[in-house]
Structure 1
Amino acid sequence: MTLNQLQYFYHAATLEHFNQAAEKANVSEPTLSRSISTLEDELGLILFEKKGRNVQLTKAGAVFLEHVTRILDEVNRTELKMHQLATNSGRIDIAYVAPLARTFIPKMIRSFLHEDGNRHVIFNFHQGNTAGNVDGLKRGSYDLIFGSKAENAPEIEFVPILKQEMVVILPANHELCDAPDEKITSALFGLYPVLSYDHTSGLGKYTKNFFLSHDIHPEFICESPDENGIASLVAEGFGIALVADVEAIHRDDIVIRHLIPEETFSHTVYMGYVRSQYQLPALKHLIRFIIENCTTDQ
């Protein structure tokens, strides 16, 4: 049973005329007749019976038409979907770290969808830490990831897209809130309890490397996956923290201080995708859009 046989049968069944069906299918009438005869032999059933110059479905033919109609409808939907994927539609799975969820990802995707030709693209959003997102990208679960740059992942292209200054956050009543700038140095993280990012996250590793490079060994009180959790604990006086300067920490119950200029540093956020993996046109468009609008020098 072939797709051509099903299409010939459908035309003959709906037009009730072999010659008209042949014209509709753009084949000769003998070719269509032989195809349907072969189909009847394969099924072991008679699908049509003569009615003057026309043909009429048998009871078996009517049942077969119901199934063939569903099959051809699905084929048409599949063809349409593949055409959409080949142009500027389709589904894109992206994964990102929590600090990007509140502002960066929604605004970036909304800007992309507002551009001509992109409005039919569908997104699936996934939030996780860098390690999990990288694993998902390698497995093919995600098309694009956003977060820290992973080590030992040569198959992934990491493109720097955003710089976040690292700042100190303090409870609103902390004694360092009004301290002179020269007092806000890396040394203070050895003097007060410290709240940190999850040690498995990109920012967790990044901040810990900062402390190690300054020979500082903080008293870590607890870990949190993102700035929302860290800021809330800092506000309640659990300790101080070194975090990325994102929207979540701008609140009335904590104070943001910048490290002295010679210690000021920033964290780079990357977009990552598998170099050798086939990319749908919609994904190519998104990557190009981000590179043109969001990339930054490291």
Structure 2
Amino acid sequence: MNLRQLEFFRTLADTQHMTHAAKLLNTTQPNLSHSMSELEKELDAQLFEKKGRNIQLTKYGKFFYTYVVSALEELSKGERALKELVSPEKGVIDFAFIYTAGSYLAPMLMKEFSAYPGNEQIRFNLYQGNSSDMTELLLQEEADVAITSKLKEDDELNYEILTEQEIVLIVPTDHPLAGLDSVSLKDTQDYPQVYFNKRSGLRPHIDKMLANAAVTPRIVCEVEEDHTMLGFVAHKFGIALIPRIPSISSYDVKAIPLKDNTLPRYIYLATKKDHFLSPAAIRFKDFVVPFAQNLFYL
């Protein structure tokens, strides 16, 4: 049994006329007759019977007809839905991004992309997490594209630099360092730190920054994302190194530039290699990479 046979069966059942059905199906009458004969053999049931010059469904044919119509309608709906899903103008993009990108970069890029002529009807499914989550979503093909940091080189993933983030020191507003306009990493040595946990893409970067400055952090607690870190610093658990994001100003902390950090912190747009990307996802990728690369700091 194949799809063509089912389409033949439905049309013949609807027209109840072999010649008419063959014409609608753009086939010959002998071919249609042979196809229905083979279908009846496979089902071990007579589906049609003659009625004068026409034919009609047997009771078994009527029983089978309801299932065939339902199945063909579902396939047709699936075909339409899939075509819309991958449509360049009406497709759906599974877009993932790290916590740091959620307050500005991700929504800004989506807004700029959606405002571009021809992109207005493209929709997004959104996912958020840390860099480990992004890697997993891409490898499992649950995300088409992801804004992330690079935890390590991965033969299955392709990374394109979007922009560079400035890392700053945040301290409570009444902290001894709060009066300074800039600090060195050495200045952080004597103070407890709120730190990113090991699943965060920022963790290896900040580890390396401090190691380069010969600073061993005194970690009092580890958190997963930026807003939690800001909350803990505002409540005087310690100081922290964090990307300069717009929401820093919403907390009772001061952001202080670093004067001795020469290690760049890059943010990437990642995709899975050798993985089908819909035309809409390709359009998004091709738009946001050059657009974001014109930004210096977020």
Normalising by structure 1, report the TM-score.
0.88
**Contact 2:103 2:245 (8 Å CA) reproduced:** no
**Contact 1:227 1:248 (8 Å CA) reproduced:** no
Change (3 A) 1:203 1:296: farther
Aligned equivalent of 1:130 = 131
Aligned equivalent of 2:188 = 189
Q: Residues 88-127 of structure 1: matches in 2 within 5 Å?
A: 88=88, 89-119=90-120, 121-127=122-128
Structure 1 residue 213, shift from structure 2 partner: 0.6
**Contact 2:46 2:60 (8 Å CA) reproduced:** yes
**Contact 2:114 2:122 (8 Å CA) reproduced:** yes
Aligned equivalent of 2:227 = 228
Aligned equivalent of 2:290 = 292
Deviations 1:131-172 (CA, angstroms, capped at 9, x unpaired)? 332233234333222211132313322111122211111112
SS at match of 1:79: helix
Change (3 A) 1:65 1:165: same
Deviations 1:223-254 (CA, angstroms, capped at 9, x unpaired)? 11122111111111111111100022112511
Aligned equivalent of 1:282 = 280
Structure 1 residue 33, shift from structure 2 partner: 2.1
Percent identity over paired residues: 29
Q: Structure 1: which 5+ runs fail to align?
A: none
Change (3 A) 1:93 1:45: same
**Contact 1:163 1:296 (8 Å CA) reproduced:** no
Aligned equivalent of 1:248 = 247
Q: Residues 133-282 of structure 1: matches in 2 within 5 Å?
A: 133-179=134-180, 181=181, 184-260=183-259, 262-263=260-261, 266-282=264-280
Q: Which amino acid aligns with 1:194?
A: Q
Deviations 1:2-36 (CA, angstroms, capped at 9, x unpaired)? 22221111111111222111111011223222222
Structure 1 residue 264, shift from structure 2 partner: 6.7
Deviations 1:108-131 (CA, angstroms, capped at 9, x unpaired)? 234334444445544332222223
How many residues are paired up? Answer: 295
Once residues 275 and 35 of structure 2 are traced to their aligned partners in structure 1, the CA distance between those partners, rounded to angstroms, is: 41
Once residues 236 and 86 of structure 1 are traced to their aligned partners in structure 2, the CA distance between those partners, rounded to angstroms, is: 47
Query: Cα RMSD (Å) of the superposition?
Result: 2.4
Normalising by structure 2, report the TM-score.
0.88
Aligned equivalent of 1:16 = 16
Deviations 1:89-125 (CA, angstroms, capped at 9, x unpaired)? 5443333221112332233234334444445544332
Q: Structure 2: which 5+ runs fail to align?
A: none
**Contact 1:160 1:297 (8 Å CA) reproduced:** no
**Contact 2:234 2:251 (8 Å CA) reproduced:** no
Change (3 A) 1:120 1:45: farther
